[in-house]
Structure 1
Amino acid sequence: MRKDALDYVYKLAQVDERVVFIGSDLGPGTLDAMKQEIPDRFFMEGVSEQHIIGMAAGLAMEGFIPFVNTIATFLTRRCYEQVALDLCLQNLPVRLIANGGGVVYAPLGPTHLAVEDMGILRTLPNMTIIAPCDADEMNRLMPQTIDWPHPIYIRLAKGNEAIVSKPEHGFEIGQAILLREPGEGLFITTGAMTQLGLQAAQKISEDSGMACGVLHIHTIKPLDRATLSQWLPKVQGVVTVEEHTRIGGLGSAVLEFCNDTMPEQAAKIRRIGIPDRFAEQYGSQNSLLAHWDITVDSLCAAMVQQLRQS
């Protein structure tokens, strides 16, 4: 997914002179072709994340469209003040491409786990937050970043995920995609967890015959309130799924929407996500998710419980 995103930055730079790339200590080989062909719009700034946000803001003020890439925790925790004041307060068209959303960097421990990144940035006015589910969807997203007038945070997953998105669904920032028609239940997912939701919906169908849909919300902010209004009243149980703390992310956004607009729907919603504590274990991404009970089986159990309570 990261390679697709960065390769697309190069494609955009070839046809739009406003596009610049700014990286932070990404290692040799990153976008070498762009570095050779368009060296005046390729910058590798070393371990200086706060600096690259200010640099991107300055370039955006001069009419450029900067694409900034580094590790998600460094773009959010380390650069929060710069993102808030330099980008969001000025409402500048800077695109933050964040490596390792969720627990991708599980072997490196809590310093590198971006498990509150969406919650941090969702509080900032003007910020757009997007988490594609696979590389194909990333390729449909990237062309739309050129004309979007606000800052964008693009949350990258591990990479090499199965392709579950479909070209016929298209892609529009702020427009959720129904990947599987709901019956009694509905999984609401984002990013790579959409793949888990699809697997759980299929397993429930095979095991019990119950029909569960999957609504992929790739854009956490702005939230697609119209699609939620359409589907929430039609199902008996809802399970939100995210590779993010249960505080402030997708599940919180859906519940906030219900509280504001349709409070009678809130009781049917259950949230699956990372508990409110720092990771106390090291391992693989999948081992940490299993430790926190974010698995296909736990999704199925949560949905069955919601439907039995309805």
Structure 2
Amino acid sequence: MRKTCLDMVYEIAKKNNKVIFVGSDLGAGVLDEFKKKIPKRFIMEGVSEQYLTGMVSGLAMEGFIPYFNTIATFLTRRNFEQNIIDLGLHNLPVRLIGNGGGLVYAPLGPTHQAIEDISIMRAIPNMMILAPCDSHEMKKIMPQTVNINGPIYIRLARGGDKIVTNKIKNIKIGKAISFGDFKDILFVTTGIMTQECLEVVEKLKLSNIKAGVLHNTTIKPFDEASLIKASKKTKLIFTVEEHMVSGGLGSTVLETLNKKNSSDITKVNRIGINNTFVKKYGSQQDLLNHCGLSAKKIFAIVIKKIHEQKT
């Protein structure tokens, strides 16, 4: 997914001479073709993300559209003040591309786990948040980012994720995507949790439980209309996110239903990372299992909840 995203920045830059790529100490070989063909709009700086946020803000003020890529925790947590003052306050067209949203950098521990980034960025006025679930969706979404007014945070997953959106004809920023029949269970997801929940949907079918997924590429602004419509058609709602349960997708769903004065708010169950540091080390899949975010663990949570309702 990261490669697709950066390749699309290059494709966009070839068509729009206002597009600039800025990287912060990225690995050798990143966008070599971009660097070779459009060297004046390819900038690779060192580990100085706060300074770089100010720099790309200045470029945006001069009429450019910078795409700034680095590790998600450094782009959001470390840069919080700069993101608010330099980007949000001035509503500048800077695109922040965060590598490793969620638990991708599991082997590096809590310092590199972007598990509160959605809540941080949601709090910034004018900030849009995107979290595609696969490379196909990323390819469709990226060209749409050029003409968006204001800053955008693009949350990247691990890469190599299963393609699930290739049959979706109309992929648009701000519009949720529906999968399956959510008569009994509705999973509201974003990012790669969509793939995990689609696996759960197939397992639930074996028990004659009708379930579906409402995937949200755009977390902010949230597609409230699609959620309200779907919530009326289902018995239980599970929000599932590779993020802390506080302030993220689940909070967005609850806030939306509350704002619309919907009684469906009582159907909502949030699945995510508890408000604690994840101190376990291992692969991303190890940590997903540890945090209850693998398809197997999500399935167990859903079945338990269904049984509780029957007793």
Please give the range of the TM-score, normalised by the shorter of the 2 chains.
Answer: over 0.9
Distance 1:138 1:289 in 2: 22
Residues 26-175 of structure 1 aligned to structure 2 (within 5 Å): 26-175=26-175
Distance 1:25 1:217 in 2: 31
CA contact (8 A) 1:185 1:307 kept: no
SS in 1 for 2:168: helix
Distance 1:187 1:31 in 2: 36
Unmatched tracts of structure 1, length 5 or more: none
Deviation string for 1:174-227 (max 9, x for gaps)? Answer: 110002231211111100000001000110112x11110111011110000010
RMSD: 1.1
Query: How many angstroms does 1:303 deviate by?
Result: 2.6
Give the structure 2 partner of residue 210 of structure 1: 209
Q: Is 2:250 the partner of 1:251? A: yes
Give the structure 2 partner of residue 225 of structure 1: 224
Query: How many angstroms does 1:127 deviate by?
Result: 0.5
Question: Which shows bigger deviation, 262-271 or 61-70?
Answer: 262-271
Query: How many angstroms does 1:27 deviate by?
Result: 2.0
Distance 1:263 1:127 in 2: 26
Distance 2:169 2:195 in 1: 16
Q: Is 2:264 the partner of 1:280? A: no
Deviation string for 1:77-119 (max 9, x for gaps)? Answer: 1101011010010001110010000000000000000000000
Give the structure 2 partner of residue 194 of structure 1: 194
2:240 partner amino acid:
V
2:22 partner amino acid:
I
Query: How many angstroms does 1:168 deviate by?
Result: 3.2
Give the structure 1 partner of residue 302 of structure 2: 303
Query: How many angstroms does 1:302 deviate by?
Result: 2.7
Query: How many angstroms does 1:258 deviate by?
Result: 1.2
TM-score by length of 1: 0.97
Question: Which shows bigger deviation, 176-185 or 82-91?
Answer: 176-185
TM-score by length of 2: 0.97
2:289 partner amino acid:
A
Distance 2:290 2:234 in 1: 30
2:55 partner amino acid:
M
Query: How many angstroms does 1:167 deviate by?
Result: 4.5
Deviation string for 1:227-253 (max 9, x for gaps)? Answer: 011110110001111000001100010
CA contact (8 A) 2:129 2:218 kept: yes
CA contact (8 A) 1:102 1:115 kept: yes
Distance 1:82 1:156 in 2: 21
Give the structure 2 partner of residue 23 of structure 1: 23
Give the structure 1 partner of residue 3 of structure 2: 3
Query: How many angstroms does 1:133 deviate by?
Result: 0.3
CA contact (8 A) 2:188 2:237 kept: yes
Unmatched tracts of structure 2, length 5 or more: none
1:165 partner amino acid:
T
Distance 1:113 1:168 in 2: 31
Deviation string for 1:133-160 (max 9, x for gaps)? Answer: 0000000010101111121100000000
Deviation string for 1:23-73 (max 9, x for gaps)? Answer: 000021111111111111000011010111111111111111100000000
Distance 1:306 1:260 in 2: 26
CA contact (8 A) 1:169 1:177 kept: no
